[in-house]
Structure 1
Amino acid sequence: MGKFYESKRWRKKRGHILRRDSYQCQESKRYGKYAEATTVHHIYPLEEYPDLALMDWNLISMSAAQHDRMHDRKTDKITAAGLYWQRKRRREFEAWEKLRCINSNGREK
């Protein structure tokens, strides 16, 4: 995945997401606090969902400290904080899944 994060497409998308979120950490903002966002987090992980790598709805600006709270760095599993964002974007994820199923075999599964 290292090459992905070095790609021109990712750098352009990352800049877009940071600007969209006004360079504010969205996780800190949930709690009424301000922190500068320096990282863009994949709500549904890149490793599991590469097709969502550049989808705006799957990306959110965060501070490095808050981003570290999204993943258990030993197991690389999503934490409760990360699951909050997955629940929040569940509707978009389900719409994407449905469209993917339709596109993969021409009809709904």
Structure 2
Amino acid sequence: MKKREVILKRDSYLCQECKRYGKTTQANTVHHIYPLENYPEYKLTNGNLLSLCMSCHGEFHDRVTNALTDKGMRWKERTVLPPPL
């Protein structure tokens, strides 16, 4: 099973951002909380992966620069990952 499927299944195929607000929206994307470009060591770390719907995922990145938006930064600040191996 691919990592994407593992994470979607772990999150019951629900967008975790929508879920915070009591909504049940189907997730179809797995987001790297610590961006893959800057933190390749966390590429497949379960704690760095988050199921999102396309709409929410679009709100986590600036689509021009690919930098995290304020919403994406808030998830990053709340997520503490262990030091990489």
Alignment of 1:1-109 (within 5 A): 12-89=2-79, 91-92=80-81, 95-96=82-83, 100=84
Q: Distance in 2 between matches of 1:84 and 1:20?
A: 22
Partner Cα distance (1:33, 1:87) in 2:
23
Question: What SS does the aligned partner of 2:31 have?
Answer: strand
**TM-score, reference length from structure 2:** 0.93
Q: Which has the higher contact order (CA 8 A, sep 6+)?
A: 2
Unaligned runs of 5+ in 2: none
Q: Which has the higher Rg, Structure 1 or Structure 2?
A: 1
1:16-36 Cα deviation digits (max 9, x unpaired)? 000000000001011111110
Divergent runs of 4+, >6 A: none
Number of residue pairs aligned between Structure 1 and Structure 2: 85
Instruction: Judging by fraction of residues, say which structure has more helix.
Output: 1
**CA root-mean-square deviation:** 1.3
Q: Which runs of 5+ in 1 are unaligned?
A: 1-10, 104-109
